[in-house]
Amino acid sequence: MPRDWSRHFAPRAARMGASEIRELLKLLDQPDIISFAGGIPDPALFPREPLAAAFARVLGDPARAAAALQYSVSEGYRPLREWLANYMAGLGVACTPDNILITNGSQQALDFLGKLCIGPGDGVLVAAPTYLGALQAFNCYEPRYETLPGPESNRLHAGAGEGGGAPKFAYVMPEFQNPTGTTLDRRARAAVLDLAEALDLLVIEDAAYEKLRYDGEREPSLLQLAIERAGHIDEARVVYCGTFSKTIVPALRIGWAVAARPIIQKLVLIKQASDLHSATLNQMVMHEVAAELIEPHALEIRAAYRARRDAMLRALARHMPPGVDWTRPEGGMFIWVTLPVHLDGARLLERAVREARIAFVPGEAFFADRSRRNHLRLSFSLADPATIEEGIERLGRLLRAA
Ligand code: PMP
């Protein structure tokens, strides 16, 4: 009998399962497969030279190098937090550096917020579907998931109490949601804040794709709206999670959380206990690169991703059989496809890889209760428009035969 390791682990470890789909997708690194699976930025768009120059500048100056290579404060590199306070002001969020914590990517902010807020069995409101990585982060703290009601639902104020106790927070991606690509309009944003007020919840605003807007008008962030309601950020019930992963590079692992000071102060203590601080060198380099080129670089990557989104939407219109529907995102990296209910995305993936040499992520993993199987998430961030056309044509052929 193989040894049962689980008795050495805390009960929460039972909730930490590798997803079969992720395991399958790891095998897909073969050159003849057209993959719409990974939701990652295109490395050809990384600002390699400005990054190399910034590393050289920081490390080439003995005084700056000494600081860059040393331990530093858990809150994060002060000039970067000052720059971010200014950047957030440009987004309509009045805050100070003391409202900001630098994290190792926004993924770490999600983990820390789970650690701060969720006790075993506590309710958490998430959209169905929602970002798989957030579910993985929160799962470690053993929540009970409830579905975040939409603005037209009359369950809006009834969410509490159904499964015991009011939920602790709502986790929301207002822009270009992963996996659907959809964006909350002003009314839906107000409804989230109304719900949070009615149930006395925090709101976690995941703004990972915020800067990747290709058309349409930007709406105010939930944090901005909450500050308008509360009068001051230190009274606002929204925690905003930002990241440079999609706009500059993911590898330096620099994200940030913006919130009322009492929340940030707790997160700083969690950061200290977890990893002391984010890499000082990376924070200093990101500060230089972001200050120098975030706006021009965002323009460049938006142009590239917009062309790919357009290519995918055109190809879907051309090649999908009747009965298949999909979202038309204004930004981000994803299109969400809804298949006829009898089709199962995970089974289709097996055939897609074997017969059509294409890949995508089956939708099931994005539902906290895994209840729906007839969806696919397609990412358009990595393939060029001609490859997208070819891959979607193959998907269409597969679906016609399914
Ligand atoms: N939120 C969303 C919605 C994401 O898609 C991702 C990355 N895939 C993250 C957060 C985490 O990104 P990072 O830790 O690199 O900031």
Residue 344 C-beta-side C-alpha neighbours within 13 Å:
7
Per-residue pLDDT at 135? 96
Token pair 């692992």 is at which residue?
A: 253
Mean pLDDT of the chain: 94
- The answer for residues whose C-beta is within 8 angstroms of residue 139's C-beta and 6 or more apart is 15, 16
Mean pLDDT of 34-45: 93
Give yes or no for residue 362 having a pLDDT over 50: yes
- Rounded-to-5 percentages of helix, strand, coil across the chain: 45, 15, 40
Ligand 1 centre from 240 Cα, in Å? Answer: 13
Query: Distance of CA 285 to CAs 275, 290, 291, Å?
Result: 19, 8, 10
Spell out the residues 6+ positions from residue 396 whose beta carbon is closer than 8 angstroms to its own. Answer: 318, 319, 320, 321
Question: Can you say how many angstroms the Cα of residue 363 is from the centroid of all Cα atoms in its chain?
Answer: 16
CA dihedral over 155, 159, 160, 166, signed as positive or negative: negative
Which residues are near ligand 1 (CB < 6 Å)?
39, 105-107, 131, 133, 173, 178, 206, 208, 243, 245, 250, 255
Render pLDDT for 132-149 as a digit per residue (tens, 0 to 9). Answer: 999 999 999 999 999 998
How many Å lie between the centroid of ligand 1 and the Cα of residue 246?
Answer: 8
- Tens-digit pLDDT profile for residues 271-319: 999 999 999 999 999 999 999 999 999 999 999 999 999 999 999 999 9
pLDDT digits (tens, 9 = 90+) for 198-210: 999 999 999 999 9
Determine what percent of the chain is predicted with pLDDT higher than 90: 88
Distance 323 CA to ligand 1 centre (A): 31
Q: Compute the average pLDDT of residues 204-226.
A: 97
CA distance 149 to 170: 10
Q: Report how far ligand 1's centroid is from the alpha carbon of 208 (Å).
A: 6
Q: What angle do CA 377, 383, 385 make, to 5 degrees?
A: 105
pLDDT in tens, 69-83: 999 999 999 999 999
- The whole-number pLDDT of residue 231 equals 97
d(CA 66, CA 71): 10
| Closest residue CA from atom 5 of ligand 1 | 178
pTM: 0.95
Closest ligand 1 atom to Cα of 39: 8
Q: Given strand 123-126, what is the order of strands in its sheet?
A: 100-103, 255-258, 238-243, 202-206, 169-172, 123-126, 144-147
29: its two tokens: 């690194």
Q: How far is the CA of 357 from the centre of ligand 1 (A)?
A: 27
Nearest CA to ligand 1 atom 8: 39
What DSSP element (H or E) covers 89? helix 78-90
